[in-house]
């Protein structure tokens, strides 16, 4: 009988200890769901048009041959300054030069024949017809020589403007094809970004709008530009319009770099901002005293990739929850983990 009494007392003690442990579990937050919170911040709300672009000099030209021939000489001047008409490449013109020599020889012969025909005509032993035929033949050969000399110029690639040789392609011995650029010559500054904007976005783009650029070479820097011009005619196949963005003189971007383009079409300073991922349909979940959840109805304004504007709802400095658990309820106690919120 005494053994049974001891057993009952031990059971009661275990139950009491379990109740104390359960109470401690609740007090220490073991039953509270962990939620991530972010602070509502004040900043600039902006609507953007996204595009991609390439950095290019504002004044430049691609230089390529007009005919197919083997490269026999290059300037080896990549990165160097050149004047207008400086030689960049020479192509093998041996066949064209041989043809020119043949035409010159025929011209010389035609010149002698014309002199003889003229002499005979003056001595009244030649005919006017013979003289006219000799004159026509000489004129024909002279025209052919002039045309061949112009053709020989096509075997020389020259700088179309003064500037810097930005890049050289092609080495001695290679065969150059018509239309394939061998060199790029331009002025390294000022630089611009050529961006392709989708046709459904182009009505919102205007000259003078601010632009933020992102480049892989500078992942932690927001680089600035301004919309400089918009090409009036778009590409009907790609359904894009070419937009030129002016870069500041001190830009660190190199010619040829690719960039992500964010054209700011609408801007509102002093707005309440939160990340879009924290919004559920028509509302957000906030926390009271960083311990209890509450549902707050909101209206959204200008939306972007990183931030969306709150027209009403939580004030600047208040905390909101994401992700919202499926069984999250009004007033539920929570444990809070603060998430980093990048400044706009």
Q: Which residues of the chain have pLDDT under 70?
A: 1-33, 289-291, 323-328, 339-344
Q: Please, where in the chain does CATH 2.40.30.170 lie?
A: 49-59+187-269
Q: What is the pLDDT at residue 217?
A: 93
Cα 66 off chain centre by:
30
User: Measured between alpha carbons, how far is 253 from 250 in angstroms, rounded to an integer?
Assistant: 9
Q: What is the pLDDT at residue 32?
A: 65
- Of 3.40.50.300, 3.40.50.1220, 2.40.128.20, 2.40.30.170, the CATH number of 49-59+187-269 is 2.40.30.170
Q: What is the pLDDT at residue 112?
A: 95
Q: What is the pLDDT at residue 17?
A: 47
User: Measured between alpha carbons, how far is 135 from 118 in angstroms, rounded to an integer?
Assistant: 9
Fold of 93-154: Helix Hairpins (1.10.287)
Global pTM value: 0.65
pLDDT, tens digit (0-9, with 9 covering 90-100), for 222-253:
899 999 999 999 999 999 999 999 999 999 99
* Cα angle value 201/205/207 (rounded, 5°): 160
Q: What is the pLDDT at residue 19?
A: 44
- Among 269, 221, 261, 222, which Cα is nearest to 245's? 261
User: Measured between alpha carbons, how far is 318 from 280 in angstroms, rounded to an integer?
Assistant: 17
Q: Please, where in the chain does CATH 1.10.287 lie?
A: 93-154
Q: What is the pLDDT at residue 52?
A: 95
Among positive and negative, which fits the CA dihedral 275, 277, 282, 284? negative
Q: Are strands 210-215 and 163-168 parallel, antiparallel or unpaired?
A: unpaired
């Amino acid at each position: 009988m005494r053994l049974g009494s001891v057993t009952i007392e031990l059971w009661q003690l275990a139950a009491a200890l379990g109740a104390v442990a359960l109470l401690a579990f609740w007090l220490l937050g073991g039953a509270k769901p962990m939620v991530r919170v972010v602070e509502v911040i004040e900043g600039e709300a902006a609507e953007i048009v996204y595009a991609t672009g390439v950095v290019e000099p504002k004044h430049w030209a691609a230089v390529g041959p007009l005919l197919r021939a083997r490269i026999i000489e290059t300037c080896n001047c990549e990165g160097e300054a050149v004047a207008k008409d400086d030689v960049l490449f020479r192509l093998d013109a041996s066949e064209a030069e041989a043809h020119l020599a043949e035409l010159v020889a025929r011209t010389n012969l035609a010149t002698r024949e014309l002199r003889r025909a003229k002499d005979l005509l003056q001595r009244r032993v030649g005919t006017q017809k013979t003289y006219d035929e000799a004159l026509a033949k000489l004129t024909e050969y002279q025209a052919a020589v002039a045309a061949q000399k112009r053709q020989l110029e096509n075997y020389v690639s020259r700088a179309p403007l003064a500037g810097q040789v930005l890049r050289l392609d092609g080495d001695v011995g290679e065969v150059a094809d018509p239309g394939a650029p061998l060199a790029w010559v331009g002025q390294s500054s000022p630089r611009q970004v050529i961006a392709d904007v989708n046709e459904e976005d182009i009505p919102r783009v205007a000259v003078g709008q601010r632009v933020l650029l992102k480049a892989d070479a500078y992942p932690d820097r927001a680089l600035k530009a301004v919309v400089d011009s918009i090409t009036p005619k778009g590409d009907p196949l790609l359904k894009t319009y070419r937009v030129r963005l002016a870069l500041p003189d001190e830009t660190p971007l190199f010619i040829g770099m690719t960039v992500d383009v964010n054209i700011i079409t609408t801007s509102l300073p002093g707005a309440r901002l939160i990340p879009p991922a924290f919004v559920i349909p028509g509302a957000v979940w906030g926390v009271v005293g960083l311990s209890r959840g509450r549902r707050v109805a909101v209206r959204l304004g200008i939306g972007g990739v990183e931030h969306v504007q709150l027209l009403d709802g939580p004030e600047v400095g208040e905390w909101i929850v994401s992700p919202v658990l499926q069984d999250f309820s009004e007033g539920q106690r929570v444990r809070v983990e603060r998430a980093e919120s990048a400044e706009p």
